[in-house]
Amino acid sequence: MTSPMVVIDRVTKSYGEVPVLRDINLEVAAGEVISLIGPSGSGKSTLLRCINHLERIQSGSITVAGELIGYRRVGNLAYEMPEKLIARQRARIGMVFQNFNLFGHMTALENVIEAPVQVLGIPRREAVERAGEILARVGLGDKLHTYPRMLSGGQQQRVAIARALAMKPRLILFDEPTSALDPELVGEVLDVMRALAAEGMTMMVVTHEMSFAREVCHRIAFMEAGRIVECGTPREVLDNSAFERTRAFLSKVH
């Protein structure tokens, strides 16, 4: 492990009077894969969305590759940056959502090249060539000109992963990437994620796929009521947890 890719320092987040994240502290090293597990409503997805500033935090700070996300500091104060600058930061943080979020009127290839061309200013010809390579890498080299409605859920999610990769991200956030899929399609998405992990991609994954967490992740963080209750290796958390709440949760998802 090298220096931290992500540093989450005393982060809190509320919706009105309802606290969602409570004093979250977590570091993720470059090349590390960490999964966030826990019951529904524990704050896992909200934490991911705060990392790329899709959600604003109330206090604390989040840095990615040493860069403060969403804010600039002036003395002891932090001011939210203009949306244009935040979008530039997001461009280097890939995110794969539960429900794919593909553009239905665009082919797989067009979905993948849209952001590199429009956001990064990459020439279309170069973007098309790279998108073709990435789609082949995720097993969709024969689906370049296919529209999302003609693809299975697993194929759509692999297009979504290709779209994230096309931006050459420092980090990819996966928010329950297989939960909307039929069981027989889960494996093809997890295989792509395994390959990315083997290549050294830094990944944070909200998942209920405990076998994936055990096999691929360096660490697992268990969240409950907006807090990280424990964080350790898969063996420490899944097999030898000292926390009754973690053990109770795992007894229901194994």
254 band by pLDDT with thresholds 50, 70 and 90 = low
pLDDT at 2: 61
When pLDDT is averaged across residues 217-236 and rounded to a whole number, the result is: 96
**d(C-alpha 122, C-alpha 166), whole Å:** 11
252 band by pLDDT with thresholds 50, 70 and 90 = confident
When pLDDT is averaged across residues 195-203 and rounded to a whole number, the result is: 96
CA 145, 149, 177 angle in degrees (round to 5)?
Answer: 100
253 band by pLDDT with thresholds 50, 70 and 90 = confident
pLDDT at 78: 86
**d(C-alpha 153, C-alpha 165), whole Å:** 19
When pLDDT is averaged across residues 155-170 and rounded to a whole number, the result is: 96
**d(C-alpha 109, C-alpha 244), whole Å:** 47
Report the mean per-residue pLDDT for the chain: 94
Structural domain spans, the chain: 104-168
Q: 210 vs 80, 138, 213, 234, 254, CA distance in Å? A: 37, 22, 5, 9, 7
Q: Which residue carries 């931006």 as its tokens? A: 167
pLDDT at 76: 84
For residue 179, what is the DSSP state? T
3 band by pLDDT with thresholds 50, 70 and 90 = confident
Is the distance from CB of 30 to CB of 4 less than 8 angstroms?
Answer: yes
pLDDT at 51: 97
pLDDT(1) > 60: no
Bridge partners of 68, per DSSP, are 63
Strands (E), 1-58: 4-15, 18-29, 33-37
**d(C-alpha 134, C-alpha 130), whole Å:** 6
pLDDT at 77: 86
Q: What is the pLDDT of residues 87-101, one digit of tens each?
A: 999 999 999 999 999
pLDDT at 85: 94
pLDDT at 231: 97
Alpha helices, H only, the chain: 44-51, 83-90, 108-118, 124-137, 153-165, 183-198, 210-216, 234, 244-253
- Which amino acid is it at 179? S
Is the distance from CB of 208 to CB of 37 less than 8 angstroms?
Answer: yes
- The whole-model pTM stands at 0.94
Q: What is the pLDDT of residues 113-150, one digit of tens each?
A: 999 999 999 999 999 999 999 999 999 999 999 999 99
pLDDT(112) > 60: yes
